[in-house]
Structure 1
């Protein structure tokens, strides 16, 4: 096996150095949005699972308490998985693919790999299920069924 040219190694090290300068800020600002398959519930979370917002369409209220609670939990979990994957992607830019693979071995398989999202065309995923939620772009509207936990006062 031949070693890569020195200038290629230097270029790669410089890219990693630049990426590491803003790593903590970039990862802290990562969030993801997911919707349930019917589009009735939308959750926005951070990679750590912190719920930033929850939107419910009026039709969701008529599905029953059990369905509502299970779907909210599943949708929020899916959003956190999307955010966690984005964080791992940022980390891989700094550490490189080999170190990111080792980290994945220590902390568990990355969400994209576990769900088969990162499957390359020439290899089939093992028992892949479609994600329970679909990532969506952030949109602003004044839905009366929206809930933003950051609007709660902490002094109560």
Structure 2
């Protein structure tokens, strides 16, 4: 293992450790503030939960009784699970702003609950290649009078990384 010299004073290291300790003490409070809200496709219910899965709000439309007791119960659970994933992601987003990505990733590993944005079954939407293919197809169908973008023309540039974030 290679040793890397530390270029900070002992006082700076102590201050940094205290600052991190104080930030870590705020994690639980931040997670308690995180909430997630979801609704079913038919808009017959809305569920809000916190990052621990605690039910904070349940709204049912009068038409929700049409689902029947068994289906309504399972639908509430499904919607609550979606809301919980949103709340967990919200909590990780808040913690990452406070502690940084590396520490947040460590918290994810310790908790055993990965950020929903990084789960393998998450719908990542379009790939960059598919987005570009559709863009080129759309531009080809537009009027020929439209000028083609130049290499140095930023007007048509788009950063695909801005479409989705795992934080």
TM-score class, shorter-chain normalisation, is 0.5 to 0.7
Rate the CA distance shift 1:92–1:123 in 2: closer, same or farther, 3 A: farther
Aligned length: 114
Rate the CA distance shift 1:21–1:103 in 2: closer, same or farther, 3 A: closer
Which residue is 1:47 aligned to? Answer: 51
Deviation string for 1:98-127 (max 9, x for gaps)?
Answer: 222233233132112225367795489xxx
Residues 84-103 of structure 1 aligned to structure 2 (within 5 Å): 84-103=88-107
- Structural RMSD (CA): 3.4
Q: 1:109 aligns with which of 100, 108, 114?
A: 114
Q: Gaps (5+ residues) in structure 1?
A: 1-5, 7-12, 125-156
Which structure dedicates a bigger proportion of its chain to helix? 2
Given the two structures, how large is their TM-score scaled by the length of structure 2? 0.54
Q: Which one has the largest radius of gyration? A: 2
Deviation string for 1:3-51 (max 9, x for gaps)?
Answer: xxx9xxxxxx7x9799667544333222221101211111111110110
Given the two structures, how large is their TM-score scaled by the length of structure 1? 0.58
Higher RCO, Cα 8 Å, sep 6+ = 1
Q: Gaps (5+ residues) in structure 2?
A: 1-7, 9-15, 131-167
